């Protein structure tokens, strides 16, 4: 693994074949921290959202490779907090220093299993939601709950609540969490000085594990 070059090399033990080399935009070894990954990947994306662009981070890979850890992380040590809590912290840090501007930040949490969408923060977690299309706001999920997020009500509370219902749902229906897509959706609206100057979205997808 060469993090500086963004490349990794794979060799088969006891094989005479030469190692295979793969090059990516970035490559991180097991000693890399989520802080380092966020600074390289998440930070510029969130900056772009605050400037008026939509942004998405999509975690994909084999089961057990660390997708959930990278996206959600752990609270202790602080260096291993995941991309999602770091992104919300980044958003609020920028909002607090913005002069003469007010923002509204809202968050939703949902899962997709067997092409069925369920709200992990809604009152009825078994109710299937429908995907709709609106001429102005585009594709949206009808009936999906959305909560205002404040700095002192950190999004980790919403994430913990959503994941608790996700595990209960998986147990009730005997489904496997490794086959479920989890989406954390964050909308940022600028309210002042000009209302609704932009309403941009930052989405974090946690996909099911791939099988080889």
H or E stretch covering 35: helix 34-37
The SS3 assignment for 162 reads helix
Is 184 annotated in a binding site? The answer is no
Is 63 annotated in a binding site? The answer is yes
Is 48 annotated in a binding site? The answer is no
DSSP annotation of 152 reads T
Q: Cβ of 203: how many Cβ atoms within 10 Å? A: 16
Is 64 annotated in a binding site? The answer is yes
**Rounded Cα–Cα distance for residues 2 and 21 (Å):** 11
Is 138 annotated in a binding site? The answer is no
Task: Give me the DSSP letters along 73-131.
Answer: B-SSSGGGB-HHHHHHHHHHHHHHH-SS-EEEEEEEEEEEETTEEEESSSS-TTSPBEE
The SS3 assignment for 142 reads strand
CA-nearest of 63, 67, 44, 45 to 55 is 45
**Rounded Cα–Cα distance for residues 63 and 136 (Å):** 38
Is 26 annotated in a binding site? The answer is no
Q: What is the 3-state secondary structure (H, E, C) of 168-190?
A: HHHHHCCCCHHHCEEEEEEEEEE
Residues marked as binding for ATP? 61-68
Residues marked as binding? 61-68
């Amino acid at each position: 693994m060469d993090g500086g070059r963004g490349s990794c090399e794979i060799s088969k033990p006891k094989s005479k074949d030469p190692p295979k080399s793969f090059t990516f935009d970035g490559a991180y070894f097991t000693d890399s921290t989520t802080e380092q990954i966020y600074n390289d990947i998440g930070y510029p994306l969130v900056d772009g959202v605050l400037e008026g662009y939509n942004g998405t981070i999509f975690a994909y890979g084999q089961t057990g490779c660390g997708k959930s850890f990278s996206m959600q992380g752990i609270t202790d040590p602080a260096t291993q907090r995941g991309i999602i809590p770091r992104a919300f912290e980044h958003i609020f840090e920028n909002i607090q220093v913005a002069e003469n501007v007010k923002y509204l930040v809202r968050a939703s949490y949902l899962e997709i299993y067997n092409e069925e969408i369920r709200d992990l923060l809604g009152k009825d977690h078994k109710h299937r939601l429908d995907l709709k299309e609106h001429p102005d706001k585009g594709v949206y999920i009808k009936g999906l709950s959305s909560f205002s997020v404040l700095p002192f009500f950190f999004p980790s509370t919403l994430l913990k609540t959503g994941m608790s219902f996700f595990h209960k749902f998986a147990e009730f229906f005997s489904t496997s969490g490794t086959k479920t897509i989890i989406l954390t959706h964050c909308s940022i609206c600028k309210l002042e000085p000009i209302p609704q100057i932009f309403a941009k979205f930052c989405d974090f997808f946690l996909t099911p594990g791939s099988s080889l």
